[in-house]
Structures are given as C-alpha cells and as structure tokens.
Amino acid sequence: MIKHALNVTREANFAEWYQTVITEADMAEESGVRGCMVIRPWGYGVWERIQRLLDDRIKGAGYDNTYFPVFIPLSYFEKEADHVEGFAKEMAVVTHHRLIADGKGGLMPDPTAKLEEPLIVRPTSETVIGAAFSRWVQSWRDLPVQINQWANVVRWEMRTRMFLRTSEFLWQEAHAAYATAEQARAETLKGLEIYRSFAEECAAMPVIAGEKPENERFPGAVSTYSIEAMMQDGKALQAGTSHFLGTTFSSAQDIKFQNSEGQQELAQTISWGMSTRMIGGMIMTHGDDDGMRVPPRLAPWQVVIVPMLRDNDEDAALIEYCQGVQQELGKLQAFGEPVRALLDLKAIKAVTKRWGWIKKGAPIVVEVGGRDMAGGNVSVTVRTDLYKEDGKLNSQIVARDAFLGDVVGTLEGIQKTLFDQAKARTDANIVRDVTDFAGLESYFENAGKFPGWVEVEWSKPTGAELDKVVERIKALKLTFRNVSNDAAPATGTCIFTGAPAVERILVARAY
Amino acid sequence: MIKHALNVTREANFAEWYQTVITEADMAEESGVRGCMVIRPWGYGVWERIQRLLDDRIKGAGYDNTYFPVFIPLSYFEKEADHVEGFAKEMAVVTHHRLIADGKGGLMPDPTAKLEEPLIVRPTSETVIGAAFSRWVQSWRDLPVQINQWANVVRWEMRTRMFLRTSEFLWQEAHAAYATAEQARAETLKGLEIYRSFAEECAAMPVIAGEKPENERFPGAVSTYSIEAMMQDGKALQAGTSHFLGTTFSSAQDIKFQNSEGQQELAQTISWGMSTRMIGGMIMTHGDDDGMRVPPRLAPWQVVIVPMLRDNDEDAALIEYCQGVQQELGKLQAFGEPVRALLDLKAIKAVTKRWGWIKKGAPIVVEVGGRDMAGGNVSVTVRTDLYKEDGKLNSQIVARDAFLGDVVGTLEGIQKTLFDQAKARTDANIVRDVTDFAGLESYFENAGKFPGWVEVEWSKPTGAELDKVVERIKALKLTFRNVSNDAAPATGTCIFTGAPAVERILVARAY
C-alpha cells in the first residue's frame, strides 16, 4: 500500500484536502486581512505563467493592455441600475482620505477628511472603462476599441475560500466596443474560445463552453457565456466568463458614435474575465493525494534538479555536474519555450526537497548523488507516474544524455496525461439520459459522495417562471451551469415545465 | 526652420510640454477619478517592458514574486509610529463594505455594514509583509527571505501630475529579511545597483546613486538610498529608492529568529521600490519638441512599418511586402531579444500614422509605398535623427536588405545616443565649485530658466540643526537629493554650518 505525502486524502475530506494542498504546495496562506490571501511564490509563479500565456492570446486577438483606476466614484454605479443591484451588496467603500490620532494612542479616520463622494474599490471595471470609451469613441472609424487590463478587484465575500472566493482577487478583464450587435456577440464568443483553448491546452483542464441561463447572467449583460470545469469531487467550477453587454453600459455611459450614414448610434460592448480562481480549479482538477500536479505549460519550473549534497569535498563537483544538466535543459524547447529548470541549492536535506517538489507538483524532479554523477546518470521522478506497483517511489536512474534526449517528450506526455485523465473523468460523469425531474432527484440521491453533472432538456423559461425552477433545483443544492455550445439539440419536453424543450442545460453542484 | 510636431516647446513651457507629450503620445489621460489616471496602450506598453526587464533582474537577485492584500488593517499601522507618521496624512480609508439606496434615487454606504476596524488601501506594504515574515521566519535557516510584488498602491495626493505624482500608482516593491545588519545593508545597496543599472542600461537614463539625508528618509528607515536623474528642465527626479530598515519593522511586527547559538534575535529588513514615475522621468529625459523618444530596449514596438495604402489593387501586394519585412525583423535579435516590429494597418492616412509614431517615439518608422516596393526599397526614419539640415524630415530610401542588415546596429545606436545625450547634459549641469551659501544662492539666481544641480560640502547635521538647514534651502525652493556613491571626499567646511565638512551632497530643485 502506498503511503502518500499528504495527511488527508481527497476521498476522506475533499475540502480539507484542498486546503492542505494549498499549504503543503506553498501556493497561498491566510493573510490576517479578512477574506484576503497571501499568494506565495509557487502559487504566484503559476499565476505568472497563466498571465504570460493568456496575455499572448489576448494580444493576438488585437487587444491592447491598459490600466484604469482602482477607485470608481459612487455616481458611476448609480447610472446603471441592474449592474449596481448585482454588485451593491459586496463592495468596499472608501469614505476618508486621512487618519488622525484617536486620543487613545491609536488612529481613526479624520472626520475633516471625509470624501465628498465615496469611492468604490472596483469589483469590475465596466463603468469606469465605459466612461473612457465614451471619450474615445466618436465615429465609426474609432471602432472597434479593444483593451485589456490585469488588475486586482474586490468583492466583499462573507464566506471565503482560497483562490475560489476571496474578497480581493487578481484577474484580467477585457473590454471592447463595436458598431453592431452581431459583431459584438461574435467577439464575445471569440473571448470564450480563448478561454476554452487556454484552459484545455495550457491548464490541461477540459471544459464545457456555453451560454449561462438568465438567472446566472453578469449584472447588466444581455448574454453571459462561461467555461465550466468538473472538479474531482464532481462539482462544477466556472473558470472564465464572457459577456455580451449590448447597449446596457453604452447607454449608461453615453458611448455613442456617428455611423457611416452620419447618424448617432450606441456602441455595443462586451467584457470577459479570468481570475486567480483558475488556480483553485487547477488544484481540484489535477491534484492528488501527494499534493499538486502542475501542468508543464504552467509550471514555474518544469524540471527541478536536486543535488544530494553531503557537506564534503565532492559537493562542488556535484553542483557543477547539476549545473551542466541545467544548462543543457535551458537549450531545449518544450511547447515553444525554453525548458524551465531550477537547480535547488537550498540548505535543507535532499529528501525533504524531493518531497517538497512532489507536493508542489513540479512535473519532473531530478536527483543526483555522487554515484549517479560517477556513472554519468541522473535519477528521474515523473510527477504523473510517482509510484511503482509495490508502492515504492518510481525514481528511475537513467543516463544523463538519454534523459536530456527524452525530457521534452516526457513533459509533453505529462501535459497530455493530465488532460486525458481529467477529460476521461469529466466525460464519464456527465449524465445525459435523465428525462424527468424525479430522475434528476434520483440521480443526485444515488450518485454517491461525488456526483457528476446532469444535462437535461428544458424549455428555457424566463422571469418568474425561471425563478420557480431555480427554487426547485436550489432545494436539491443544484445550480444551472450552461448550455454547451456542443450540446445535442433538444427533442423532448422540459423536465421542469413539461413544455416543449428548446435546448439542453447542465445541472450540477458548484463552487 | 524646423516645424515641430507639438504645439508647445520645452523651452516655452516645460510643464505644458510634458502634458502635451503624454496626450499626443497616447501615454495616459485623466480618468475622471480624482488623482488617478488611465494608462493608455502605449504608456502601458512601456510599463510592460519595464516590468519584463526589471523583473528579470529582481529574480536574478534571488527574489520570488508574491502577492499581498491591497488592504491593511488600521492596527498594523498603529504598531510603527514613525511609519504611520510619515504616511497617515495621505491614505485611502475603507470604512464600509456595502452600499444601499439613499432614498433619493442614489446610493450610500450602508450604516449597518460598517467595518469594525477600518482598512487602509496600501500606501506601501512593509507592515503586512512584515506580518508574513514573522510567520515565515523562526530560525536562522529560514533567512534570508527575499520577495517582490508588482502592485498598485495609493497615497492621497493633493496636487497630482501624471506619472510623477498620482494618488494611485503601479510599482514593484521588494522586501527582504536577513540575519545581520551588515548583510541587510549590503543587500540594500544591491537593490540600488539594480535600479542604477536598469535606469542607465534599459531606460538610457543616467542617474546619481547615493544615500539620502536624514530628512528625506522613508518613514521608519535607518538609511534610504536613491537614484536621482536630471530632467531637461534641470530638476531632479527620484526614480527609485532602496531602504535599510534595520529592526524598525521587525520589532513592530515581531520578526524574530533563533540564531545558530540558540538565541532569539530580531531580523534586519530592507525594501526597495520603483514605480510608474519612471515613465514620467523617461519622458522628461528623452522627449523633444516632436514628442516622446522611447529607448529601444523599452519600446513596445522598436520598428513600426507603415504601408502607403491607396485603396486600390496594389494594396494586397504592398501589405505582403511589408509582412515580409516584419517577418525578417522578427528573426533578428537586438539586446538579446527578437526585434519587435509592428505592421500598422489601421484605417487612417499614412502621413497621420507616421507623425503619430514619431510623437509616440517609436525608434524607427519604416514607410513603404508602391515605388519603394518596386525598387526593393523601404523609407526609413530614425527618431533620434529626425530632420535634415534644411529642416525637412530625414527619411532615407534604402534597399530592404541593407535596412535589415543595419537595423540592429541602428537600434543599438539610438539607445546609445539617448543615453549619451542625457549623460552629457547631466554632466554639464552639475556644479561642484560652490564653497559657501552665498555661492549657492547666486548660482540659482543666475543659472537661468533651467538651473542644474549643485554639489556642496556639508557637515551632515542631524535633528534640529538639520531642520534649520532644510528651512534655508527650502526658502530657495531647493531640496537635498543624495550623497553620490561616487562623490569626491569632503575637504573643506560645511556651506551651511561652517563646521568641518564630512561629505558632498547634491542640492537641486526637484519633482
């Protein structure tokens, strides 16, 4: 039997396992500031990789990076009723701009430095970016405008969980304005496709891309699209959203242009965002009972070299040998970039380092002892193939040159294995043969600890009728996820209303 | 006579020229939010280049990137009196976490959602990072800890100026803890050296690196070091600071470790930061009466290709020819990176594009018309050599292959020219022969519109004696900058106190 590196398994307690991975893999920690976390080096390193690869795709789609203020005046929110309704319950409000002594040895906001108009710490930037668009857009020649920003945002959350739901989080938000609704909707879907391809190709995370139902729309949006990923406990995680906003914000913010016939029109706007939540999704997609497994494309270090130092005269030669391996790795290309190899020279025991890197999920750990060096070898551990059948660690002694010859293929193999495992699990756990509400109840009653998702036919009710349906699934602790772009057409009746069905929607427990 | 692209010259009105460059070069604009700016694509592109190159150097020095909360609880500031004294007058205070309807059709902070403890939007992160260090550091084996973050910070400013002084700005802040004061001070100077080399090598901005006097120290620091650059109006700009904090924050935040003899000691901490202010410094160092001149190493696009499209059948061939040039450029390496070349296909006139890129300061603009293409040529304009002697634009028609053969050398030449011009100007405007206070007064009375700096001998007074000296130079609108690491030793008497001088300090007008 295998003795795993973590003291809790996914099976035993998934929520505790998740927190344990975050701690043991050096991803993040509580900050002491309510609802906010400290993102530690390995976690932030993954975020930097996400930024680099996603940013390339965003720029490739013709977006320019920019930066807008963290503060949004209260009056900007007052202009768009639906939007403020959706966010007003969870915003940080700045009311003063100075502190003074409180007369008891402490500090307090200075009553004479109260802001005339409170400022909101941005929960999202449609309003302040819309105000800029209204300055930038005068004529059809100024369109499209396509910008992106990487920023921190704040939504006051009562119950927080690291990476998944924190009061402050990091994200990118892309915003664009177009002349026609058709173009704007098409570009909304392009944003969604960037997320789908990024999630699947870079994060090795299979997703369902599709449109959210009315009750799950972004406040102020005409349509919201999402990518949804299945975690190992069967729950759904919304990992990115793209919104067709129509003229909601252009009418509130006065984004008007003169069309080629000389008439004034409102621009059609869109926005799409992906956040540090993605990291939580990666942990729950790829992690195992030994810790995190980072897909090689997003690993800050793809290969970590650990010399078995012995505090003696041979150490210098051993380090030199390892540096040689590191240099050769840096000359190789995996996924179109130089291989990222770290030589870990920290003053801790080699075995502690090995397990540290396994828990962090470094794709390949290479250990080198004196005997390995003498034989021109290295000892290689691959994160997706950690144990032999007998439960012992599967470290293979191979010739240095053979390792260097194989390493790119090994990294590509790890990336593929992680995707394939997650894809097989997702595919095996989406049920499509439930044809009535009783069947839905019965599935979730009997599916065991980690139920999957159910795709059902529905009549796409709206307004009060939808509210009633939402109440019914909420009673089962279920939510609507999205209508997959790849869903089969509906052929029967709605399992909620009995009316003719118009599409197939995913129902699941969710983060 | 040359007719320049801007409608105001540096000579006529330097402050207005600065704002005009920012607008005309598409760097930034007013946001509508008090004291905050919108950083537009070209300005943000320069910041991304700064981030990329500075981040490489910071990581090379052994720092890991991380992310800490934007909010700092009030009580964290109460722990360190000097620090709060220095910042308390200019901080944004969050007091509520929800908005509600105000009954008049608008919104207001919800009185029932008042925070028990106000949160400060970080003006700098020593306190919250110090709290993390106290969790991370237990033993001498845990030291050093070296981390960095790229973040937004807020200091409430009454008078703001884009890039130079804004309520919100972007920066990196590096923080580290060491076992000994000697090591900490040495590492403080390493941070300073990173700034010096970055400023000179990447931003082509010659600087004076040295220690600030007591009255200019960071709140809570034992020593503050800076790099100071001379702007074209002769004023000094502090472009980066590095602080030796001693045990100020480790005692306030309880950052203690057990040394190798088993005794408890306070760690010695340091911090160093560089911000978007650097971009303002680059504008005032390199800009001219035609707009910005961006050093090639920091230019988002080093070569911009403008096809002279004529809305006819030849356009497709012209674009193809330009794409060929762009592809060849991308295969070349300048400064160790692929050349960054943009093909500008926007639907505006070629001549408008040309002047747009000149105002933005793209190092090389390449225009290609049908005749150029037919002859296998391109028309090249180099930003640092813009006009012929007769005042006409100095665009040279050269063979495509000759251009491609020369372009890396041209980019290197532009980088060097910008540095050399700024260096010559700086060197020519530091006066070192003032030996008494009357001489100081006389220099600034007679130096004309754009005076330089004066390096004087002083006795390094402290406390009340220093305050008096500061009052005297303040009356002349002067400030102390720093004591250059390269300053000659003092040999005479202090021009302020008459006591024996101990060092030479720079005095200047400043931003």
> How far is the alpha carbon of B97 from chain A, nearest alpha carbon, in Å?
4
Q: For A128, which residue in chain B has the nearest alpha carbon?
A: B31
Tokens of A382: 């691959």
Q: pLDDT band at residue A79, thresholds of 50, 70 and 90?
A: confident
Is B58's Cβ below 8 Å from some Cβ in A?
no
C-beta atoms of B71 and A152 within 8 A: no
Q: Given A45, A107, A152, which is nearest B88 (Cβ)?
A: A107
- pLDDT at B88 (0 to 100): 65
Residue of higher predicted confidence among A49 and B158: A49
Write the DSSP assignment of B370-428 as a string of letters: HHHHHTTEEEEEETTS-B-TTSSB--EEEEHHHHHHHHHHHHHHHHHHHHHHHHHHHHH
Contacts of B40 in chain A (CB under 8 A): 66
Question: Would the CB atoms of B69 and A93 count as touching at under 8 Å?
Answer: no
Task: Verify whether the Cβ–Cβ distance A29 to B135 is below 8 Å.
Answer: yes
- Between the ranges A82-91, B69-78, B326-335, where is the mean pLDDT highest? B326-335
**How does DSSP classify residue A247?**
T
Provide the pLDDT confidence category of residue B195 given band limits of 50, 70 and 90: very high
pLDDT tens profile B433-487: 999 999 999 999 999 999 999 999 999 999 999 999 999 999 999 999 999 999 9
| Residue in B72, B97, B118 closest to A33 by CB | B72
Angle at A37 between CA A36 and CA A39, to 5 degrees: 145
Structure tokens at B80: 């360190």
Q: Does the beta carbon of B21 lie under 8 angstroms from any beta carbon of chain A? A: no
* Chain A hits for B109, Cβ within 8 Å: 93, 95, 118
pLDDT above 90 as % of chain A: 93
- At A166-224, the pLDDT tens digits run 999 999 999 999 999 999 999 999 999 999 999 999 999 999 999 999 999 999 999 99
B-chain residue closest to A44, CA distance: B66
Confidence band for B347, pLDDT divided at 50, 70 and 90: confident
Give the angle B242-B247-B253 at the CA atoms, nearest 5°.
105
Mind giving me the DSSP string for B136-180?
H-SBGGG--EEEEEEEEEE---SS-BTTTB-SEEEEEEEEEEESS
Q: How far is A123 from chain B (nearest CA, A)?
A: 12
List the single residue in B106, B109, B170 with the smallest CB-CB distance to A67: B170
Check A128 against B33: CB less than 8 A apart: yes
State the smallest CA–CA distance between residue B507 and chain A in angstroms. 31
State the nearest Cα–Cα gap between A91 and chain B, in angstroms.
Answer: 5
- Percent of chain A whose predicted confidence (pLDDT) is above 70: 99
d(CA B10, CA A508): 64
* Residue B349 at interface with chain A, using a CB cutoff of 8 Å: no
**Chain B residue numbers touching A119 (CB-CB < 8 A):** 33, 92
Strands B430-431 and B396-399: unpaired
Interchain pair B170, A141: CB under 8 A: no
Rounded Cα distance, A265 and A254, in Å: 10
Cα Rg of chain B, angstroms: 26
In chain A, what residues touch B106 (CB-CB under 8 Å)?
Answer: 74-75, 78
Q: Identify the bridge partners of residue B257 per DSSP, sorted by sequence position.
A: B265
* B272 touching A (Cβ < 8 Å): no
Instruction: Give me the total of CB pairs closer than 8 Å, taking one residue from chain A and one from chain B.
Output: 195
Task: Round to whole Å and give the CA distance between A110 and A96.
Answer: 7
What are A343's two structure tokens? 């030589």
CB within 8 Å: A33 and B91 = no
Nearest-CB residue to B78 (from A33, A106, A147): A106
B82, pLDDT greater than 80: no
Q: pLDDT at residue A88 above 70?
A: no
Whether B69 sits inside 8 A of A156 (CB atoms) is no
Q: What is the ipTM of this complex?
A: 0.96
User: Given this model, what pLDDT does residue A158 score?
Assistant: 84
pLDDT digits (tens, 9 = 90+) for B87-143: 667 899 999 999 998 888 889 999 999 999 999 999 999 999 999 999 999 999 999
Q: Kindly determine whether residue A109 and residue B95, on different chains, have CB atoms separated by under 8 Å.
A: yes
Residues in chain B with CB shorter than 8 Å from the CB of A348 are 141
Query: In chain B, what percentage of residues exceed pLDDT 70?
Result: 100
Q: Indicate yes or no: CB of B70 within 8 angstroms of CB of A106.
A: no
Pairwise CA distance, residues B79 & B286, whole Å: 43
Number of continuous H segments (helices) and E segments (strands) in chain B: 14, 28
Q: Return the HEC string of B102-139.
A: CCCCCEEECHHHEEEEEEEECCCCHHHHHHHHHHHCCE
Q: How far apart are CA A68 and CA B474, in angstroms?
A: 36
Residue A106 forms contact with B (CB below 8 Å):
yes
For residue B474 the two structure tokens come to: 């303040």
- The residue of A23, A67, A89, A153 whose CB has the most chain B CBs within 10 angstroms, and thus the best one to mutate to test that interface, is A67
Q: What is the mean pLDDT of residues A133-149?
A: 96
In B438-477 the beta strands, taken as DSSP E runs, fall at: 453-458
The C-alpha of B31 sits at a distance from chain A's nearest C-alpha, in angstroms, of 7
From residue B133, alpha-carbon distances to A45, A46, A266, A378 in Å are 19, 22, 52, 36
Inspect the interface and report whether the beta carbons of A67 and B96 lie closer than 8 Å.
no
Distance from CA of A501 to the nearest CA of B (A): 39
Query: Measured between alpha carbons, how far is B295 from B282 in angstroms, rounded to an integer?
Result: 9
- List CB contacts (< 8 A) between A39 and chain B: 66-67
Set out the domains of chain A in order of their start, with CATH numbers. Answer: 39-94+121-277 (3.30.930.10), 296-426 (3.40.50.800), 430-508 (3.30.110.30)
For chain A, give the mean pLDDT.
96
C-alpha closest to that of A75 among B108, B158, B154: B108
Contacts of B138 in chain A (CB under 8 A): none
pLDDT higher for B241 or A82? Answer: B241
A181-201 vs A41-60: helix crossing angle, rounded to 10: 140
Contact state of B132 with A38 under an 8 Å Cβ cutoff: yes
- Cα-based distances in Å from A29 to A23, A43, A161, B124: 7, 10, 11, 20
* Predicted confidence (pLDDT) per residue in A20-36, tens digit: 999 999 999 999 998 99
- Tell if the CB–CB gap between B73 and A47 is shorter than 8 Å: no
Cβ partners under 8 Å of residue B40, min gap 6: A66, B26, B27, B28, B29
